[in-house]
Structure 1
């Protein structure tokens, strides 16, 4: 796996936008990611849709390599860590997390995160219902209202960008979007769709591939 990054300066802070669908904030020694949707593949299998468990395993392999690469003290998860009820994927994740006992997880709960305590039992998770404010940023899953003097980092919409080549060539890539006073993270899980709806407020867009991050 190749880990590449594009650094941006936002609100006086340097953020490394990686091609592995997460941000490293060096000043806080934190990995910032969103929309892992753990339990989604098992939920689909339970409902008769044959989705391989390797999807989750590959996502966690990427996260493991990112943790070893950056050696963060914390993970800031901007919503939708889990997708559904307690299931085999969730239990697999709990066992997988045991190798990182010193990493603190802050989870700003998303629309898919459930209230059941058993989902979070045994995990070193600081649960936040609405937002986490770590100046100069406010972390929130899906922004409903803005404060003009704050900068938000969010997830939820699984942003993508359509890259046009010669003739009819088209490719859709996950991306980071900067929209006025917020940055939207791509979904960390590769088992998600991509929303490439054009937003006229987007000021900067960074597409990601397996090997690079580039501004479009």
Structure 2
């Protein structure tokens, strides 16, 4: 069983999940950033051989989180589809089949930079599409890192990872970054890469290590 780790955001208790998602218990809301559905399909359309099955893996992980936490709402913090080439028949069919099984869920997409190129998801998926910042109570959901006056921002976009090095060996782990005015989520997608960050003064960095969330110390 994975172990979440909670933090306070403008008086709200939020839980960081090792599955690279955020859980807001009061709203039964699951928040994920940068899924990039269809990225592998877009690469294959460009002639680059990459593995298949990433869309199915992402959807299966969403299913597990929905079941475990009894989620009623999923918020996607931008970059739902990777590109126009990501709108491959197989990708859209997998999304439609998943949605048919999950009609009880409210789905919201906060548009990101890739969404503006890929276009909004098909209407049949029943996803509310909004621009950033999208405010719910004291929180503001955004794709791009930013501060929002009068709210605590939940952001994505950078796919943050942290590099651990010891005795000539190194490891890059996805991470959450929590500041006084915002929190950044790692990329949820299984085929997204990462941007190496350095801990800044006043920031807390939480590493995703298998089934646990570990706060970086020192």
TM-score using structure 2 length: 0.91
Q: 1:104 aligns with which of 79, 102, 106?
A: 106
The equivalent of 2:13 in structure 1 is 14
**The residue matched to 2:101 in structure 1 has which SS?**
coil
Alignment of 1:134-153 (within 5 A): 134-144=136-146, 146-153=147-154
Structure 1 unmatched ranges of 5 or more: none
The equivalent of 1:89 in structure 2 is 91
The equivalent of 1:162 in structure 2 is 163
Q: Which has the larger helix fraction?
A: 2
The equivalent of 1:119 in structure 2 is 121
- Displacement of 1:135: 1.8
- Displacement of 1:181: 0.7
In 2, Cα distance between the equivalents of 1:137 and 1:24?
13
TM-score using structure 1 length: 0.92
1:59 aligns with 2:19: no
- Displacement of 1:201: 4.5
The equivalent of 1:132 in structure 2 is 134
In 2, Cα distance between the equivalents of 1:143 and 1:73?
26
Q: Is the 8 A contact 1:139 1:152 kept in 2?
A: yes
**The residue matched to 1:113 in structure 2 has which SS?**
helix
- Displacement of 1:58: 1.5
Structure 2 unmatched ranges of 5 or more: none
Say which is worse superposed, 27-36 or 191-200, in terms of deviation.
191-200
- Displacement of 1:147: 3.8
In 1, Cα distance between the equivalents of 2:117 and 2:48?
25
Say which is worse superposed, 43-52 or 147-156, in terms of deviation.
147-156
CA RMSD of aligned residues (A): 1.8
